[in-house]
Amino acid sequence: MYMKKSKSDLTFIDLFAGIGGLRKAFEPYGKCVFSSELNEYSKKTYCQNFPGSLVSGDITKINAKEIPDHDILLAGFPCQPFSLAGVSSRKSLGKKHGFKDRTQGTLFFDICRILEEKKPKAFLLENVKNLKTHDKKKTFKVIIDALEELGYYVIVDVIDAGKVVPQHRERIFIVGFREPLDFEFPELTDTKPQLKKILEKKVDKKYTLLDGTWNALKRHKTRHGEKGNGFGYNMADKNGVSKTLSARYCKDGAEILIDQKNKNPRRLTPRECARLMGFPDKFEIPVSDTQAYRQFGNAVVVPVVSEIAKAMVKCMRKGKHRIMITDYAK
C-alpha cells in the first residue's frame, strides 16, 4: 500500500535533468535527492536555479546502489534505437531475452537498471511525440515491455502544451506505478494563450535578423514553395500560438520569427523562450544566448508537467486502485 505522506515527504530523482523543468514541477510536492546531467552548460543553469544542488555527470557510470532511495523517478531521456543483434544467441537457445538484453547500450537501459535496483513507487518519463513511431514502432514497444517487466503499470499520453503556453508542442509522457492506481492524465484547461503576451517590450537590436540571414531565409522558402512544399521560415502569429521551439533555434530562429514594423523580423530572446516554456521570469539564465536557446528548446513545458505532477501525487496519496486496467499502455 502507498503511505500517505505530507506535502514535503515525497522524494524524487531527476535524471537527464537538463535545466530542471521536471524538478521545478515536482518541487511543491517533495524533495529532490539526486540529479544527473552530462552537459556542463545545462548543469550551470541548473545549479544557478537550484542552489546547493550536487549534479552528477554521466549516468552510465553511476552505480544504481549509490543513488538515494526515492518515491518518484523523473527522466526526459534521449530517443535511441534498440538493437536485437546482441540477443540472437539467447533466442537460438529458446530463452526469453529480458529488458537487460533488449535495452543494453542505450540510455533508457540506465533508467531500467535504476528502477530495478531502487524500485520507486512511481516514475514519469518524457520524450518527443515521435517516440511512438520511432524505428517502425519497435523502440516504443521495447520501452513499454521493459517497464512492465520491471513490475510497473504503465499509462501513456501525448499532450499538446498549446492550451497553457503560446506554443504548439506535443510531447509523450509515460507514467508508471508499482500498484494499479486509478490514475488519469489531467485535461488541460484552455487558457487561450497568445504569443504577444510573452513578448518583451524592449528588445536589443542584436535579435533582429541581419540582411544576409533574412535574404537567405526568403530564398530558401521561395525555392521550396516552387517545389510545392511548405518548408521555410515561419512568421509567428502574435495573437495565437507559435510553432514548436527546438534546440536548433540558435541557428537562425526560422521556426518562430517575430514581425517588426519597418525592420527585418527578429528571433525570440532567451527570456521569451523561457516564457514560451512556462518558466517564471525569476528563472535565471547564466549562459550565452546560443546555449540558452538549446536549453529551452530541449526543456519541458513546466505548467504541463506541473499538472501531471499534481495528478500523480494526488493519486499516490489517495491510494485508490483501478478495477479495470485494460487501458494501460501495451
- Count other C-beta atoms under 10 Å from residue 64's C-beta: 14
Please tell me the distance from the alpha carbon of residue 226 to that of residue 16, in angstroms, as a whole number: 42
Q: Catalytic pick from 32, 79, 112, 315?
A: 79
> Using CA atoms, how far apart are residues 129 and 323, in angstroms rounded to an integer?
29
* Catalytic residue flag (residue 79): yes
| Separation between Cα atoms, residue 67 and residue 243, nearest integer Å | 38
| Residue 19 CB-half CA count within 13 A | 26
Give the bridge partners for 36, in sequence order: 56
- Catalytic positions, written as ranges: 79
